Structures are given as C-alpha cells and as structure tokens.
C-alpha cells in the first residue's frame, strides 16, 4: 500500500487527521488544506482479431510479473481515459487502435498501488503488429476459449463483457457459415424447425383449408380432406429430420417423386401440384413467424435463416415432385 503523506505540500506543516465530509481526511492544521485520496485511474483495452482471439501481454514488472493481462496502465495528466487506453495499447503491444465501445469499469484494492479504478474499452486494431514494448515481456493473440490465467480480475470481467457483447453476432455468423456450407445441424433456427414439427396438426389444418379453396389448386377442392390432412401431417413430422440431415436425401427424393406420381395418376395438373407445395411452405413459415414477437436481431435472423432453409428444401421438393410427375421419371437429369 502506498504510504500516506505526512507533511503538507503547500506549507510543509505536519498533517493531522480530521473528519471532513463524514470521512477521516488528512488536513493541514496550519493552512487548512484537505488532502483527498482518490482511486488511481487505470485504462485497459480488449482487442480482438478476425479469428476471435484477444491480444494479451506478459507483464515484465510487478505486480503480477510474468502473468498475462490485457494492455493496461495508468492514465496520465492531460489525456482522457480513452486516450490512455490507446496509448498503453501502443506502448505495451505495438498496436494502434480505435475505440469501439466502453466495456467495463471496476474498482480494485491493490496491495501494491492502493485503490484503483479500472476502465476497459473494446478497441479495433487499425495498425501495427503485436510486439512487446514498455514493461511487457511478450505480446500475442489467444483464443477466447483457451486463455491463460489473467493477472487481474478486472481483465476477466472485461473479456467476459466483450464476449457477451458479441455473443449473438457470433452466433449469427457461425450459423450463417454453416448454412452457406449446407450444414444440417446446430443452426440457430433449429428450435423453430422443432417447433414447426410439433405444430404439424395446426399447419396441416391451415394448409388444408387453403388448398381446398385456393383458385390455383382447383383439383384439390373436391378431394377427400382426411387423406390430404394425414399426408401433410406425415410430411411435417419428417420435416425437421430432413432439414437436419437425419434422413438421407434419397428419402426426400423418393417421397416427393412418389407424390408426383400419385398426383399424376389422380389427374392433378402439374401446376396445381406445385402450387400446393408452395402453399405448404407458406403455411409453415407463416405459423413460425407468428409464434412470437421478433425484437432482437438474433430473432430476426432466425426467421431469415428459416426462410432460407425452407426455400432450399422446397426447391428440392418441387424438383423431385415434378420429376415424379413426368411420364418418364427415370430420364437423364
């Protein structure tokens, strides 16, 4: 703990202790100067790269010499706390940056420096390469899920605050990458897919009303409703497994080619069969969309992702139904 002052910096008299503003303060008995002891301001920076790694430096001095921490240091007179964070980042790690946002503020009682007030910002790197400087021994990038033990609890809090800030953004990015790669599992919209399957009876009922009254599906108007409802319900119960890849593409192919053959034998025009599938997709999406209020960005993305998955799935379904409808479904594709 830093030693308390013993003499007045104004007149040199020995200080005494008095209660001022309900606290014990150091006061000069001669000139009346009150010496307020305030926390020392500390600035630190969380810097991420595009691989979601965080920049750390290994401390070259006490306290916590030899441990890893965020670029961190005392604010100087004449600079803002944000400017201090950028300066320390440059001096300790060789990185020039731009403040993105305030992440955390923390109070810390240090046996070395006394009371500290630690303010942490997320900083975007705009230049330089990691290199140890100032009082750092090393500087480098570390994966967020494989960090060394950090020197200061405030750093742990700040890194977690940064992770939480990006959680939904990263979840969307990851799910989109899986979607682009035609992945069939661990999608953000998977809960919606499961919910759709659970609502098979309601969706099938809504579709049945529509397909038996819509002018684009006249052949279905006089069809027996219960067989239509049963087939629609069965398709929806398989729907989630198809989207997740739990059933082979050949099963989707066989199901919809057989559907095409069946509708051709029943005399349903091809355009009406395709319209019935379009209506089926519409009622799946509409019920999912209406099952909640979408306020967060991630909820909006889930619906967009679901719509994309429905389009991809029904593109295949329509193709195979049309192939099954053809008189020679085994012709070269």
Catalytic residues: 138
Identify whether the C-beta of residue 170 lies closer than 8 Å to the C-beta of residue 216.
Answer: no
- The C-alpha atoms of residue 99 and residue 257 are separated, in whole angstroms, by 57
**Residues 68, 58: contact at Cβ < 8 Å?**
yes
Helix (H) / strand (E) containing 194 = helix 190-198
- In angstroms, rounded to a whole number, what is the distance separating the alpha carbons of residues 274 and 282? 13
Place of tokens 């993305």: 301
- The Cα 67–Cα 87 span in angstroms is 21
The Cα–Cα gap between 303 and 311 comes to: 12
Token pair listed for 204: 């099938």
Tokens representing residue 228 in the block = 């239509």
Torsion-angle region of residue 112: left (phi > 0), alpha (psi -120 to 50) or beta? alpha
CA 51 to centroid of chain Cα atoms:
14
**The token pair that represents 144 in the structure block:** 């967020």
Residue 297 to residue 188: CA distance in whole angstroms: 12
């Amino acid at each position: 703990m830093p030693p308390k002052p013993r003499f007045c910096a104004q007149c040199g008299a020995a200080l005494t202790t008095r209660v001022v503003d309900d606290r014990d303060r150091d006061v000069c008995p001669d000139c009346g100067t009150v010496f307020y002891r305030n926390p020392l301001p500390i600035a630190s920076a969380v810097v991420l790269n595009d691989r979601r790694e965080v920049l750390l430096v290994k401390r070259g001095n006490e306290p916590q010499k030899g441990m890893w921490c965020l670029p961190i240091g005392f604010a100087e007179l004449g600079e803002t706390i944000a400017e201090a964070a950028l300066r320390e980042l440059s001096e300790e790690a060789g990185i020039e940056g731009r403040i993105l946002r305030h992440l955390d503020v923390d109070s810390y009682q240090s046996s070395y420096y006394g009371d500290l007030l630690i303010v942490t910002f997320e900083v975007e790197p705009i230049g330089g390469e990691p290199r140890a400087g100032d009082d750092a021994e090393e500087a480098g990038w570390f994966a967020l899920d494989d960090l060394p033990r950090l020197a200061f609890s405030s750093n742990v809090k700040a890194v977690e605050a940064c992770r939480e800030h990006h959680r939904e953004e990263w979840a969307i990015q990851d799910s989109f990458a899986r979607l682009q790669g035609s992945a069939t599992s661990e999608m953000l919209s998977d809960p919606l897919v499961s919910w759709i399957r659970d609502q098979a009876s309601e969706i099938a009922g809504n579709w049945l009303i529509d397909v038996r009254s819509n002018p684009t599906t006249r052949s279905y108007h006089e069809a027996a409703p219960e067989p239509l409802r049963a087939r629609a319900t069965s398709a929806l119960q398989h729907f989630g497994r198809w989207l997740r890849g739990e059933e082979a593409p050949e099963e989707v192919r066989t199901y919809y080619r057989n559907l095409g053959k069946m509708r051709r034998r029943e005399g349903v025009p091809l355009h009406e069969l395709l319209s019935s599938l379009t209506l089926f997709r519409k009622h799946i999406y509409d019920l999912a969309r209406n099952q909640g209020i979408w306020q967060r960005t991630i909820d909006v993305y889930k619906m967009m992702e679901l719509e994309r998955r429905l389009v991809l799935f029904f593109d295949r379904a329509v193709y195979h139904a049309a192939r099954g409808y053809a008189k020679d479904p085994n012709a070269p594709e």
